[in-house]
Every structure is written in structure tokens, then in C-alpha cells.
Amino acid sequence: MKTSRRKFMQNALKATVATSMSIPFILKGTTTFAKKIDAPENSSPEISGLTFSQVALPYAYNALEPHIDATTMDIHYNKHHTAYIKNVNDAIAAEGISFTTEKDFFANASKLSAKARNNGGGAWNHNFFWLSMKANGGGVPAGKVAEALNGAFGSFDKFKEQFSQAGITRFGSGWAWLVNDNGKLKIGSTANQDNPLMDSSELKGTPLLALDVWEHAYYLKYQNKRPDYITNWWNVVNWDEVGKRFA
């Protein structure tokens, strides 16, 4: 089973094109990045469980420059994110975690060990974050997303201001989120690697857009100037992806 799981992880890391169109959904508009791996015949049933995988980065490391530099993207993806993937899968195996869907995994986050919860969040959040960006992104969304943002926040500019403040004012490390909470759009933030799918999160809903405000996401280029990072990040937002999540 260890060999099979290791091979699965290696294949995921070698992929060069993200296949987001084929990814199933655990909640309406919410992408899933893990799947259940069945135990081999005649093996102990507790080794059957969820296995997280890392999406292939859908653009080159330098594709988001000058807003996000290639070195940061390389380290962020290949060091930080890869470590979250490995650590959560190690925790699932070592602790005999039996949840078979991400929905159940995060819905029971309060019952998980710190290692499983933090690394599970880090694995999922980063997959979601990579797909939230693209080269030559940004601008103003159109269609239903624009209508929904205008309706919920008064205007797109007011939405941007409120979302940016959620990232700027998040104390320490964490994330800013736009979520759909039963048809109502909300903005908020979570600490560390928590996300709105977790039962332990104060902010709950289906994630539509996420911004990583951990220092490792911006410190090489922006040092301690998180507001500058956030201002420039708006130039790489993938509104097409947000629209798919909102549909």
C-alpha cells in the first residue's frame, strides 16, 4: 500500500497541466482535490482512507510576474505546498483517519489532530489558491459574478476594499475568503490553514475566492508590505474560475 500511495503522489507531482474541468465537487461550487483510496484485499481496513493530491500548477512559475515572482512561486508550490500534501497523508495513515471525502474530513476538523487539520487545510487551500489565479488576470468580473458582488457589497470597488481589508487585518498567518453561505456572499478570514469548510471555522460557506496572506506567499518580493502584495494580487485573479465556482 505504501508503494502504491507513493507512486500516486509522484504521478500527481509530475503532471504539467491542471485538469480542473474533470475535478468532482463535494459541495455546490466547491472543488475537491482528494479521493478515497481503497485498501488492498486482505489488508487491514484502517489503511483505507482519503488521500490528498497536489494539482499541477496551471501556469509557469514566472507567469504571474511582476505581481508574484517566479522564485516565490517555485518555493511556495514545491516546498510549502508539497510538504502539506505529504504531511496530511502521513497523518491520515498514521492516525487511521477513516473519512473518505473532503466534506467529511473538514466537517470534523475539530476532532482531528493538529497535524491532520493544519496540513489538510494547507493542502486544500493551496490547490484552491493556484486555480484562483492566472496570467493576465484581474480586471472586473462580468455576468452573474459581477451582479452578485454589486448586490452584496454595493459595488465591485467596495467588494475589493472589504476583501483587501480582510487580508490586511488578518493577524499573523492566514487567508482571506469570499464565500457563498446559502446564497449570501460573505467576506472574512481564517487563521493559519483553516478554511470555511471546517466545522471549527467562524467563517463558513462554499469558498469562491481565496488569498494566501502567509508571509511565505509574498515576503521575498514585498518583505513586510502585505498591503502592496494584496494590491498587486488583484491583477492575477482568475475571475473565470470564480464564475465556475459560483455557478
> Is residue 91 within 8 Å of 115, Cβ to Cβ?
yes
Q: Which tens digits make up the pLDDT trace of 24-40?
A: 233 344 455 555 443 33
Question: Which of 131, 160, 184 marks a domain boundary?
Answer: 131
Q: Which residue has the cell 482519503?
A: 50
Q: Could you tell me if 191 and 172 are in contact, meaning their C-beta atoms sit under 8 angstroms apart?
A: yes
Do both 236 and 213 map to the same domain?
yes
pLDDT one-digit tens code per residue, 102-146: 999 999 999 999 999 999 999 999 999 999 999 999 999 999 999
- Among residues 222, 210, 209, the alpha carbon closest in space to that of 175 is found at 210
Listed residues 83, 110, 131: the one ending a domain: 131
Q: What's the number of domains the chain is made of?
A: 2
Domain membership of residue 179 (yes or no) is: yes
Same domain, 48 and 163: no
Give me the pLDDT at residue 247, please.
78
117 and 148 fall within a common domain: no
Residues 102 and 155 in one domain: no
In a domain, 55, yes or no: yes
CA 88 to chain centroid, in Å, comes to 14
229 and 120 together in one domain: no
- Does some domain include residue 7? yes
Q: Does the residue 137 lie in any domain?
A: no
Domain final position from 102, 131, 160: 131
**Domain span holding position 28:** 2-131
The residue assigned the cell 463535494 is 26
pTM of the model: 0.82
Residue 130 CB: number of other CB atoms within 10 A?
24
| Run of H or E including 188 | strand 184-191
User: Does a structural domain hold residue 11?
Assistant: yes
Beta-bridged to residue 184, according to DSSP, are: 181
Query: pLDDT of 199-243, one tens digit each?
Result: 999 999 999 999 999 999 999 999 999 999 999 999 999 999 999
Task: Say which CATH number the domain at 36 has.
Answer: 1.10.287.990
* Chain segment 44-73, per-residue pLDDT in tens: 334 447 999 999 999 999 999 999 999 999
Do 164 and 93 lie in one domain? The reply is: no
Q: Could you give the CA distance from residue 175 to residue 125 in angstroms, rounded to a whole number?
A: 9
